[in-house]
Copies of this chain bind each other. A is one copy, B any other.
Amino acid sequence: MPVLHHYALSAASRIVRLHLAEYEREHELKTQLPWQRDEAFLALNPAGDLPVLVWPDGRHLAGARVICEWLEETTAEARLLAGDAGQRAEIRRLFDWFEIKFTAETSAPLLRERVVKRFSSAAPVSSQTIRAALANSQIHLGYINWLLETRSWLAGEAMSLADLAAAAHLSVLDYFGDISWDKYPEAKLWFMKMKSRPSYRSLMGDHLAGFPPARHYAEVDF
């Protein structure tokens, strides 16, 4: 059984957890603290990023995008990167939107200021950076809401990797209670659908010492 090296508040790790669960691919989870230098982990992924999926025979895959494409290529009933080349491009565009743009503007600065700095740095936490990251998140939520006014799911009429990527990133903000969901009614309905999926359940069980989840984090009807 492969082991997913992950961190509970790493959005990229959460994408792969959702994806593995959607396809009921057995795996174990192993926590890797993003702020700890770990030579064994760097040997698996010289880029140093999470997540990494490792098999007992040593084979391993690093990075959410790489693992998700691989899962689509090796799962018989794969259905999350479906459609013609144009549709698949739209799914990948939105996947990258969250994995690159949302990461840079919101997920990465929030994780760094709130979590990583607490454990690893003498640098003071910047409340200004946190405020800017949360302000950015509202622009993204507005964009999601706008997309969902004309689409059932983010990339079209079927659930896709784009929904997993968006839900994973937003789920970390939701853990901290950062989202005013009532301002984004279409996004809220969509997130309720995502939260009600069996694949989301393992995320709901996350509970980090020192960082209790917000009150409605584990509720499907929030």
Using a CB–CB cutoff of 8 Å, the interface residues on chain A facing chain B are 46-47, 49, 59, 61-63, 65-67, 69-70, 73-74, 85-86, 88-89, 92-93, 96-97, 100-101, 104, 143
Contact = CB atoms under 8 A, between A and B. Distances in A.
Majority-rule SS of A interface residues: helix
A86 B59 contact: yes
Contacts of A47: 97, 101
Question: How many copies of this chain does one complex carry?
Answer: 2
A93 B73 contact: no
Given A63-B96, A93-B62, A96-B65, A70 B46 contact: no
B101 A89 contact: no
A106 B69 CA distance: 26
A70 B85 contact: yes
A66 B89 contact: yes
